[in-house]
Structure 1
Amino acid sequence: MSYSSIPKDLRGLRACLSCSLIKSFDQFENDGCENCEDFLRMRNNSDNVLDCTSKNFDGMVASMSPAESWVAKWQRIATFCPGVYAISVSGHLPHSITKEMKRNGINLRSRDTSQRH
């Protein structure tokens, strides 16, 4: 099981627009997103970190055992690595990335509550 880096400071945090994992800009740039690195490719790519994360998010939930947590199931993060996640994230992935995800059969669920009905 892979573990995410826990944010070291509460200032300047960002959330992944795909899975809602919260880390600092530097942590995303150094380590990528443990859940989404295969298709978001943020490691060593500051442009992708800016495009694929958002500093606008609400709430946080930490999960050490996502598969066993009802909160993780409710947040749709039960299959993700342990870490700190945003409850909702504002923003959208670039069209080119969502198009590539669809082409590769990766289902994207919006974490943006302004898009929910």
Structure 2
Amino acid sequence: MHAKPDPSHSQSVSGILRAEQRPLQTSTPSTSPFRGTDVFFPLNKPLNSKQISILLFLNIEVYLSIELATMSSANPDYKWRPVPTNHFRYLRACMVCAVVLTLDEFTRKGCPNCHPVLDYTTGSDLAQMCTSPIYEGCISIDKPTESWIAKWLRLDKYVPGVYATKVVGDLPEDAMDYLNAENIEYIPRDGSENNLE
């Protein structure tokens, strides 16, 4: 049984958000009317607060299936949108731009925002050192230049994708040197002020 999306939003849908319930970590039985079902939302517009509440209430794992043919308006060099896969335990966030991907995606495709200054595809440990598995919050940004949250988090110049609101970890000195050589200001993503000299 499926909760179908609103037909008025079903035209020109480039993908769907498929949410499957994960076993709850509690002994209290769930009263959710969606137990044992899949919930589908269209991705042609951002999720509204009611849809997000449903996802949080169900304590779900999210599987994103999206058509990657759309070229990013923020960075024309990339024809793919950085969308996390269903391998949640392997997700990491870039310490420089906070985009969330798997380590495999970072090493195969590089970071969509930091490449080529920080080239994670070289086969070195740079991807492991400059990304962190410890991060807080996730936001999905479709139109960075129009999103107030993207501007608030200083993500408005990055490609559309899923970003962490806070990334825990220290950027290696080598990576700092690469950024300084390109005159790129490093904005710590751990919530601290940028008081680095």
Q: Does the alignment reach a TM-score above 0.5?
A: yes
The counterpart of 1:33, out of the listed 88, 103, 111, is 111
* Paired letter, 1:8: T
The equivalent residue for 1:94 is 172
The equivalent residue for 2:158 is 80
**How much is the aligned-residue C-alpha RMSD, in angstroms?**
1.6
In the TM superposition, residue 45 of structure 1 has moved relative to its aligned partner by 2.3
Q: Which runs of 5+ in 2 are unaligned?
A: 1-71, 73-77
TM-score (norm 1): 0.91
Q: Contact 1:12–1:55 (CA<8 Å) still a contact in 2?
A: yes
Rate the CA distance shift 1:32–1:58 in 2: closer, same or farther, 3 A: same
Q: Which runs of 5+ in 1 are unaligned?
A: none
Q: Identity across aligned pairs (percent)?
A: 34
The answer to which of 44-53 and 19-28 deviates more is 44-53
* Paired letter, 2:84: P
C-alpha separation between the residues in 1 aligned to 2:101 and 2:178?
A: 24
Counting helix residues as a fraction of each chain, which structure ranks higher? 1
TM-score (norm 2): 0.56
Which structure has the greater CA radius of gyration? 2
The equivalent residue for 2:144 is 66
Q: Contact 2:117–2:182 (CA<8 Å) still a contact in 1?
A: no
In the TM superposition, residue 46 of structure 1 has moved relative to its aligned partner by 5.0
Question: Which of the pair has the greater relative contact order for Cα pairs under 8 Å at 6+ separation?
Answer: 1
The number of residues matched between the two structures is 116
The answer to which of 18-27 and 100-109 deviates more is 100-109
Moved over 3 A (4+): none
C-alpha separation between the residues in 2 aligned to 1:58 and 1:68?
A: 23
In the TM superposition, residue 103 of structure 1 has moved relative to its aligned partner by 2.4
C-alpha separation between the residues in 2 aligned to 1:67 and 1:108?
A: 20
SS of residue in 2 equivalent to 1:91: coil
C-alpha separation between the residues in 1 aligned to 2:135 and 2:164?
A: 6
* Paired letter, 1:73: K
In the TM superposition, residue 5 of structure 1 has moved relative to its aligned partner by 2.6
Q: Contact 1:7–1:23 (CA<8 Å) still a contact in 2?
A: yes
C-alpha separation between the residues in 2 aligned to 1:106 and 1:116?
A: 16
The equivalent residue for 1:104 is 182
Rate the CA distance shift 1:4–1:93 in 2: closer, same or farther, 3 A: farther
- List aligned pairs for 1:41-52, cutoff 5 A: 41-52=119-130
